Amino acid sequence: MTTDDEDGADRIRAGWRRELPDVPVGPIGVITRIWRLAQLFTADRERTLDRLGLDSSTLDLLSTLRRSGPPYELTSGQIAARSFVSAGAVSQRIARAEAAGLVRRARSGADGRSVAVRLTDEGRRMNEDAVADLLRHEETLLDGLGATEHDELAATLKVLLGQLTRRFDAEDRPPP
Amino acid sequence: MTTDDEDGADRIRAGWRRELPDVPVGPIGVITRIWRLAQLFTADRERTLDRLGLDSSTLDLLSTLRRSGPPYELTSGQIAARSFVSAGAVSQRIARAEAAGLVRRARSGADGRSVAVRLTDEGRRMNEDAVADLLRHEETLLDGLGATEHDELAATLKVLLGQLTRRFDAEDRPPP
DNA sequence: CCGATTTAGTTTAGCGCTAAAGGAGTTGCT
DNA sequence: AGCAACTCCTTTAGCGCTAAACTAAATCGG
């Protein structure tokens, strides 16, 4: 008596349970759904950003600068450290945003190797508009969850994320 | 009195609350963490798959065929419909997997336009090994969650995913 | 049946990313 | 001081993806 409101994850799980009965299918219910939700949130952001003439990597750059507070300036290295992308990607993002007039680059005073990246007024304005739009809209995406459910979800995700982050960090740094 | 075990999402949320107090920062606790978890799961899979000489897009193709059951054969179109990627991407995935000897392509009997893609014995073996490895390992990633917490998480994710899927589907198909 | 339309799959241009190589400035050792 | 080692950033080759152009086969309507 299978329940009828199977989703994609349920179907994948049922497929593996049928075909490879020895394999544990438990993780699918969480991991596959997290992947799929991440995709949906990404696609939804992209639709909004298209309207605003931005893309998600530019938004990430502008937001990192904006969140740092006045004078909205960081070095490339600081941006890379906060962005979870490679230094090369940051360099390209800055070049694109500079061409669009959203940031300006200047050699940093103290250290001739670093580059200070600063938000222009237009970059700041576009970022503030986009962040307000996105977060207000994303709030509605989670409306279907009750307040308690929402908070418990955030809390559980935080626990899991903390555990995995610590675990992977420890694995990367094998015992001396 | 800020709690001290802030994670990245908490820091982003605190930054926006400080800089743009009018913007609702609630969604960050869920959406940002889902993105980050998806990234971690992806990176973890990639490490395992590297060892096995596979990549995640090839795994996805082989798994789709394997889950369909004997004779492990589907048309390109059926694969695309199950894969959440474009038809072009499927075509390229098949070409790579065929070059690696993991699938074989043949014009499909009934309809001269379609292509039947079938798992080779080696493709089937590699897929079964990889799926067993991955799922057994991923089970341990979720070990830190209690059974109840795990089940509640899966259930909440399923609800949210269902709501969003229906909502976006409805938006794509505007009223007639 | 014949031409137009639709459908299945492939090919290609362009995108942003990573990893690795390169260029320029700084630090440290003697 | 002088030179090696290091650091910060940029550049580039290669990858897989998407969107769109394209080829070929099937279907439909007069």
Q: Is the peptide bond preceding residue B71 cis, with omega within 30 degrees of 0? A: yes
For residue B170, name the pLDDT band (cuts at 50, 70, 90). Answer: confident
Range of the domain at B87: 54-139
Q: Do the domain assignments include residue A125?
A: yes
Find out whether A114 and A76 touch, Cβ atoms under 8 Å. yes
Contact predicate B112/B152, CB 8 Å: no
Same domain (yes/no): A66, A123: yes
Flag whether pLDDT at A95 surpasses 90.
Answer: yes
pLDDT of residue A88: 95
Over 80: is that where the pLDDT of A131 sits?
yes
Cβ distance A157 to B18 less than 8 Å, yes or no, reads no
Structural domain total, chain A = 2
Say whether A33 and B131 touch across the interface (CB within 8 A): no
Kindly state whether residue B172 falls inside one of the protein's structural domains.
Answer: no
Residues A39 and A68 in one domain: no
pLDDT of amino acid A111: 86
Tell me the nt nearest to B105, Cα to C1': C9
Cβ-Cβ contacts under 8 Å, A23 against chain B: 131-132, 135-136
pLDDT, average across residues B36-64: 94
B48 and B61 fall within a common domain: no
Nucleotide nearest to A93 (CA to C1'): C16
Residue B176 has pLDDT above 50, yes or no: no
pLDDT digits (tens, 9 = 90+) for A104-119: 998 877 788 899 999 9
Task: Clarify whether residues B61 and B134 are in a common domain.
Answer: yes
pLDDT at A123 over 60: yes
Rg (CA), chain B: 21
Any domain includes B82: yes
Is the same domain home to B87 and B115? yes
Q: Both B27 and B64 in a single domain?
A: no
Judge whether A126 lies within some domain: yes
Is there a single domain that holds both residue A77 and residue A40? Answer: no
Is A162 inside any structural domain?
no
Would you call A160 an interface residue with chain B, using a CB distance cutoff of 8 Å?
Answer: yes
Mean pLDDT of A75-83: 95
Both B41 and B79 in a single domain? Answer: no
Would you call B154 and A19 a contact, using CB atoms and an 8 Å cutoff? Answer: no
A115 assigned to some structural domain: yes
Average pLDDT over all residues of chain B: 91
- Pair A121, A92 in one domain: yes
How many CB atoms are closer than 10 A to CB B75? 16
CA–C1' B113–C15 (A): 30
Beta-strand runs (E) in chain B: 73-75, 103-107, 115-119
Residue A32 shares a structural domain with residue A58: no
- State mean pLDDT over A47-59: 94
If asked whether residues A58 and A132 sit together in one domain, one would say yes
Domain assignment present for B170: no
* One-letter identity of residue B139: E
Calculate how close chain A gets to B10, using CA atoms only, in Å.
9
Q: What is the CATH number of the domain that holds B120?
A: 1.10.10.10
Which chain A residue is nearest to residue B10, measuring alpha carbons? Answer: A158
Quick one: B17 and B84 in the same domain? no
pLDDT digits (tens, 9 = 90+) for B91-131: 999 999 999 999 999 877 778 888 999 999 999 999 999 99
Is there a domain that residue B118 lies in? Answer: yes
Tens digit of each residue's pLDDT (9 = 90 or more) over A64-77 = 999 999 999 999 99
Please check whether residue B152 touches A, CB under 8 A: yes
Q: How far apart are CA B5 and CA B97, in angstroms?
A: 45
* Nucleotide whose C1' lies closest to the alpha carbon of residue A89: C17
